[in-house]
Structure 1
Amino acid sequence: MKVYQSVLLLFCCQFLYTLALDCSVMSGNLKQIDAGSGSVVGVNNLNEVFVLIDNVFTKISGSLKHFSVGPAGQLGVNQANNIFKFQSGMFIHFPGLLKQVDAGGDQIIAGVNMNDDIYCLNMDANNKWPSSTTPWVKLNGKLKYYSCGPYSCWGVNRNDQIYIMKDVSSNACSGSNSFKNIPGLLSMIEVATDGSIFGVNFQGNLYQRTGETHSKPEGTDWISMVACPNGHKHEK
């Protein structure tokens, strides 16, 4: 989520019928922000890296264009598309090349490279690294952004078309290995660690997917939400 004057963190106790969220304004400027597993991280226009500590965004050592946090750990990519994992208080180079990485799945890593090729890494390979190899699994298709939750992964392509990968698990990050198109157009999409799905279109409008369950991960409808008064944007 790109924020020019301030960082907006969305604190939502429950989704009311009005779909309005109670927002708190946080001081700071970030071009991309992510939250998961109790942590909030982000990067600014200078690719400086920040972590929210005691309600203050604290700069940590490193340079990243995209930073993700979740059950799979804290992972990011730099301008050269190198992948880094935050371990033992420092960023350690992780095998592979991605322009966008996601840590929100059930200890699996997912992302897309500079050619919009889609990759994922199963839990065992992620958790055993660096003592073992990292056999990235390439998925069929092309996406510009890819995000995973506990039982499904969602992505959008260059035409803003939306796709879901079902049957994803910690030991089968490729899921059904067949993407299903979901009606609608979004320029960016994120799956929360509880399975909730949110997206932003090219006009900066925010949407949430409704009706998603473990047995029906694709859900039923998109519902418009009111959060940031000046719209929403995500760094591409």
Structure 2
Amino acid sequence: MAVRRILFLLADLLLLNAQLCTEIPNPGLLKQIDAGNGLVVGLEPTGNVFMLNGEDWLYLAGGMQHVSVGISGIWMVDYDKHIYRLLGSNLEKVSESFEQINAGGNLFVAGVKSGNHPMCLSSSEFLAMKPTSSVTWTVMSGTMKSLSCGLQGCWGVNTAGSVYFRTGIEPQRCQGTRWEYVPNTFSMIDVGSDGKVYGMKKGGDVFYRDGITDSKASGTRWTKVNNINARAKHLTYDANILWLITQDDKILRCQM
């Protein structure tokens, strides 16, 4: 594993319509990448978690199946379905029986419990957390295989690939009010801290959600991103940067 390499290895340079993608070092072979609040984390199939720090990927933890970073910090789920959050260099165990976690909400955390049950941790619960203290999760209703949250709310994808937006979410009332169906099918959705939304098809095509406003938080239509000459197997977005793990295991940093 090469840990220290130059960040911007110029392998795949694409400059079309002011969009620029550069390949960056891979700490191994990442299966997941997540960006939020100015940080980028990655997960190897072996369960090792890394954080991008300048030119280096820094090792954070092992034995994990999912990782998320955002306003609420860095959170992980291990192979035994236990949730942890990273406090300094220490992992604090939070809850059990979760498949996926998302730290992108506005001082609230969302996750999917075993059985595809979406849950959330309100801002009051999150801010009151102390090491070894128990927390109370709130049911969001419905069934989802994954969640991604931003300042304007949460997006969910169910096992059939159908996409939904959760309306009425507030930090103190993170469960929201209802799931609004958003036509199209995707294998995953990711929301940036600025509220922009990207989706990935099963075949690796990437789409952007147009028309997101304060009055229409779910947007109006999906637009294919045609200016990236790569098929993705995982994506994440934050602060005008789209990060991709390609199907040939490259990591691309795309200025959007």
TM-score by length of 1: 0.87
| Structure 2 residue matching 1:65: 3-state secondary structure | strand
> Which residue in 2 is equivalent to 1:24?
22
> Which residue in 2 is equivalent to 1:40?
40
> Which residue in 1 is equivalent to 2:145?
144
> Which residue in 1 is equivalent to 2:136?
135
Once the two structures are superposed, the pairs formed by residues 58-207 of structure 1 within 5 Å of their partners are 58-130=58-130, 133-176=134-177, 178-207=178-207
* CA–CA separation in structure 2 for the residues paired with 1:195 and 1:96: 29
| Structure 2 residue matching 1:46: 3-state secondary structure | coil
Counterpart code for 1:63? G
* CA–CA separation in structure 2 for the residues paired with 1:139 and 1:19: 40
Structure 1 position 42, deviation (Å): 1.0
Structure 1: tracts of 5 or more residues without a match: 1-6, 9-15
**Alpha-carbon displacement from aligned partner over 1:119-174 (angstroms, at most 9, x marks no partner):** 00001111211265411001211111111110211011111111000121211111
Structure 1 position 60, deviation (Å): 2.2
Identity of aligned residues (%): 31
> Which residue in 2 is equivalent to 1:4?
none
* CA–CA separation in structure 1 for the residues paired with 2:160 and 2:78: 25
> Which residue in 2 is equivalent to 1:54?
54
* CA–CA separation in structure 2 for the residues paired with 1:151 and 1:189: 15
> Which residue in 2 is equivalent to 1:212?
212
Counterpart code for 2:148? S
Structure 1 position 58, deviation (Å): 1.6
Counterpart code for 2:20? D
Please tell me the root mean square deviation across aligned C-alpha atoms, in Å: 2.1
* CA–CA separation in structure 1 for the residues paired with 2:71 and 2:227: 26
Structure 2: tracts of 5 or more residues without a match: 1-6, 9-14, 236-256
Higher relative contact order (CA 8 A, sep 6+): 2
CA contact (8 A) 2:140 2:176 kept: no
CA contact (8 A) 2:212 2:219 kept: yes
Structure 1 position 98, deviation (Å): 1.2
* CA–CA separation in structure 1 for the residues paired with 2:228 and 2:79: 28
**Alpha-carbon displacement from aligned partner over 1:168-202 (angstroms, at most 9, x marks no partner):** 121111112x1010111111111111111111111
Number of residues of Structure 1 aligned to a counterpart in Structure 2: 220
CA contact (8 A) 2:94 2:134 kept: no
> Are residues 23 and 86 of structure 1, via their aligned partners in 2, closer, same or farther at CA, if it must alter by over 3 Å?
same
Counterpart code for 1:162? V
| Structure 2 residue matching 1:234: 3-state secondary structure | strand
CA contact (8 A) 1:204 1:232 kept: yes
Structure 1 position 114, deviation (Å): 2.4
Structure 1 position 210, deviation (Å): 0.7
Structure 1 position 229, deviation (Å): 3.1
* CA–CA separation in structure 2 for the residues paired with 1:209 and 1:111: 22
* CA–CA separation in structure 2 for the residues paired with 1:98 and 1:76: 10
| Structure 2 residue matching 1:30: 3-state secondary structure | coil
Structure 1 position 20, deviation (Å): 6.8
* CA–CA separation in structure 1 for the residues paired with 2:97 and 2:228: 33
* CA–CA separation in structure 2 for the residues paired with 1:27 and 1:103: 25
TM-score by length of 2: 0.80
